[in-house]
Structure 1
Amino acid sequence: MSWLVTGGAGYIGSHVVRAFRAQGIDTVVVDDLSSGRRAFVPEGVPFVEGSILDGSLLERAMAEHDVVGVVHLAGFKYAGVSVQRPLHTYQQNVTGTATLLGAMEATRVDRIVFSSSAAVYGTPDVDLVTEDTPKHPESPYGESKLIGEWLLADQGRATGLRHTSLRYFNVVGSGTDEVFDPSPHNLFPLVFDALLAGRTPRINGVDYPTPDGTCVRDYIHVADLADAHVAAARRLDAAEPLEAVYNLGSGDGVSVGEIMREVAEVTGIDFRPEHGPRREGDPARIVASGELAARDLDWRMRHSLSEMVASAWAARRAASGD
């Protein structure tokens, strides 16, 4: 028996695969490599190259590898870009999720952990977001993730699908030098790429209604995130009760300006970031409580901000051969 990890060749997905292996749980990866990397999949893990839009491929993978559950991470994950590419975003994230659920029903796979997002909240009018905070997504990406949660809930009512959705916040760091975040849109890779190229990193937006004018976010370590997926899968396997959604938040916000200062400290590279305009779809502040996840999924922040930056920097330098 194994768990299927869609998007398992990605930065987050490959950490999830490693977390499952560390707990002795077999996995199989499906990834179309549009943003993932084959080299990120650990040796010995079965790999199926293909899209979640291909229902027949998913059914074959589930049948051939005796899949009992799915961790669904595959999708188009860039909030800002989704504003310019809404149809692509909905195809990948909504049609893709519906296709996956259809393949699961056809093969009688009855449990799923879904990669959702803090983007479902938009710009909350509360200091600390909880799972019950009203949802007002401000981008097609956030909307697509909320629809994904609805699809799971509807399928659960219709077929008895056991499910939970984990709402991610800003995922950073690395659990191994073999895997780094290669995204062209995320903060850490943008800053590191600039430094390695001898350029000055840039902050997008310094006029937000926050203490230093830059966006405030929860930053969580990718290895902590991956462990939460294993805990959720184990509870689903045991048919133990789970909430429909969990925030994987730290309870503490860190601004982009503070991140820049920590990067300078950790890397030893003294710089003052350039200032650019806001990115569309970026809310000013999102900080969330992780109390429910702490109660049910042993969720906690096991890494400091300094450790997040240092591990991400080490993995990025290893990738560039430095």
Structure 2
Amino acid sequence: MRFLVIGGAGYIGSHFVWEALRQGHSCVVYDNLSRGHRASVPREVKLIQADLLDKETLRAALREDHFDGIFHFAAFALVGESVTEPDLYYENNGEGVRCLLNAMRAEKSTAGLVFSSTCAIFGTPEKVPMLEHDPKVPISPYGRSKLVAEWLIEDACRAYGLKAMALRYFNACGADPSGEIGEDHQPETHLIPNVILSAVAGKELSIFGNDFPTRDGTCVRDYIHVSDLADAHIKAAQHLHTLKPGTFDVVNLGTGKGYSNLEIVQAAERVLGRKIPYRFAERRPGDPAELYADNTKARQVLGYVSRYSDLDTIIRTALVWHEKHPKGFS
């Protein structure tokens, strides 16, 4: 299959490209490189450096090539930034999706659209594990912008005969098994790379909150390896290929199990063979105590199978990336 990968130079998008090539598919990457890295895109893959809001370039990309699947990985995803710059998030995450849907209609694209969504659309859950149909009450502009994007896609499918699937991530983590690409964010807000960076630099790690109603007082999250996410996206595109126009569906992507912040630190100490200094800091506003998925639908509909999502493999692959690239892609 041939794929158009929007945001394919970012963390998750680039891992998707590497996995798709590994499985024998071909890709074209569309990315403005504002938060992605040119070095993460394989040299043999065509890169269109343009913004999703650039309607003419986007339409030309769809017109000049036939794609079996289109993937949207191009969201801004920093919760704190979304609070201080909500307009930026609604423009990129909402209007960008609307531009894509309009371009697909205008160019009569029959490709299935796989949308990178998030568990942030649920807000603070009423219960865990979380099901696809659970109430959606996002508590940040980031979460709200992604829910708006889901609504735009769903309505377009029903009105215009497109077909799409929203895959709601929990915590993407780890690095490609090759060690050639991995997580390189500025600033880095994710726990696992910060644990590794703290261990390597010998700096104290901050753990936000130790008074949550969980087994050890720290937040519990569902960690899924980024290469398992990539494989699930390919399965979603293949599944959409068999469905009729007008179809929209949603799937939670997680392991079905939650780990606390302290359990992540302990796993990293086991893999690295050293103690990791840490301190407890104040809770971050809006942090739910527990977030983890019921992944029954992912297993039943997509045939999702975890290959890399045990904690030791997640941390080991991330460590290889950071050791090989101590300054990231720079």
TM-score range, shorter chain: over 0.9
Give the one of 284, 287, 302 matched to 2:289: 284
Please state whether the residue corresponding to 1:123 is helix, strand or coil: coil
Give the one of 220, 225, 229 matched to 2:224: 220
Please state whether the residue corresponding to 2:20 is helix, strand or coil: helix
Report the more deviating stretch, 299-308 or 133-142.
Answer: 299-308
Shift of 1:190: 2.0
Which aligned pairs between 1:101-112 and structure 2 lie closer than 5 A? 101-110=101-110, 111-112=112-113
One-letter amino acid of the counterpart of residue 182, structure 2 = F
Aligned to 1:196: 200
Shift of 1:169: 0.4
Instruction: State whether structure 2 residue 43 is matched by structure 1 residue 43.
Output: yes
One-letter amino acid of the counterpart of residue 206, structure 1 = N
Moved over 3 A (4+): 240-243
Aligned to 1:58: 58
Report the more deviating stretch, 12-21 or 59-68.
Answer: 59-68
Shift of 1:81: 2.4
> Take 1:278 and 1:34, find their aligned partners in 2: how far apart are those partners?
30
Shift of 1:243: 6.2
> Take 2:144 and 2:39, find their aligned partners in 1: how far apart are those partners?
31
One-letter amino acid of the counterpart of residue 258, structure 1 = E
Give the one of 312, 315, 319 matched to 1:313: 319
Instruction: State whether structure 2 residue 258 is matched by structure 1 residue 253.
Output: yes
The answer as to whether partners of 1:69 and 1:109 remain within 8 angstroms in 2 is: no
Please state whether the residue corresponding to 1:130 is helix, strand or coil: coil
> Kindly tell me: are residues 200 and 240 of structure 1, through their superposed partners in 2, closer, same or farther at Cα, counting changes over 3 Å?
farther
The answer as to whether partners of 1:86 and 1:140 remain within 8 angstroms in 2 is: yes
Aligned to 2:189: 185
Provide Cα deviations, 1:216-251, integer angstroms capped at 9, x if missing partner.
Answer: 110001111100000111122233797610001211
> Take 1:312 and 1:18, find their aligned partners in 2: how far apart are those partners?
16
Instruction: State whether structure 2 residue 167 is matched by structure 1 residue 162.
Output: no
Please state whether the residue corresponding to 1:244 is helix, strand or coil: strand
Shift of 1:153: 0.6
Which aligned pairs between 1:65-214 and structure 2 lie closer than 5 A? 65-110=65-110, 111-175=112-176, 176-183=178-185, 184-214=188-218
The answer as to whether partners of 1:200 and 1:274 remain within 8 angstroms in 2 is: yes
Provide Cα deviations, 1:279-308, integer angstroms capped at 9, x if missing partner.
Answer: 234222111111111011111222311111
RMSD: 1.8
Specify every segment of 5 or more residues in structure 1 that has no aligned partner in the other structure, as ranges.
Answer: none
Report the more deviating stretch, 191-200 or 45-54.
Answer: 191-200
The answer as to whether partners of 2:119 and 2:169 remain within 8 angstroms in 1 is: yes
Aligned to 1:231: 235
Aligned to 1:13: 13
The answer as to whether partners of 1:177 and 1:314 remain within 8 angstroms in 2 is: yes
> Take 2:266 and 2:149, find their aligned partners in 1: how far apart are those partners?
36
> Kindly tell me: are residues 80 and 321 of structure 1, through their superposed partners in 2, closer, same or farther at Cα, counting changes over 3 Å?
closer
Provide Cα deviations, 1:148-187, integer angstroms capped at 9, x if missing partner.
Answer: 1101110001111010000000011112301111121111
> Take 1:101 and 1:90, find their aligned partners in 2: how far apart are those partners?
16
Please state whether the residue corresponding to 2:325 is helix, strand or coil: helix
> Take 2:24 and 2:243, find their aligned partners in 1: how far apart are those partners?
19
> Take 1:45 and 1:282, find their aligned partners in 2: how far apart are those partners?
38
> Kindly tell me: are residues 69 and 108 of structure 1, through their superposed partners in 2, closer, same or farther at Cα, counting changes over 3 Å?
farther
> Take 2:194 and 2:254, find their aligned partners in 1: how far apart are those partners?
23
Report the more deviating stretch, 17-26 or 292-301.
Answer: 17-26
The answer as to whether partners of 2:163 and 2:244 remain within 8 angstroms in 1 is: no
Please state whether the residue corresponding to 2:301 is helix, strand or coil: helix
The answer as to whether partners of 1:68 and 1:109 remain within 8 angstroms in 2 is: no
Provide Cα deviations, 1:248-298, integer angstroms capped at 9, x if missing partner.
Answer: 121111011110111111112212311112223422211111111101111
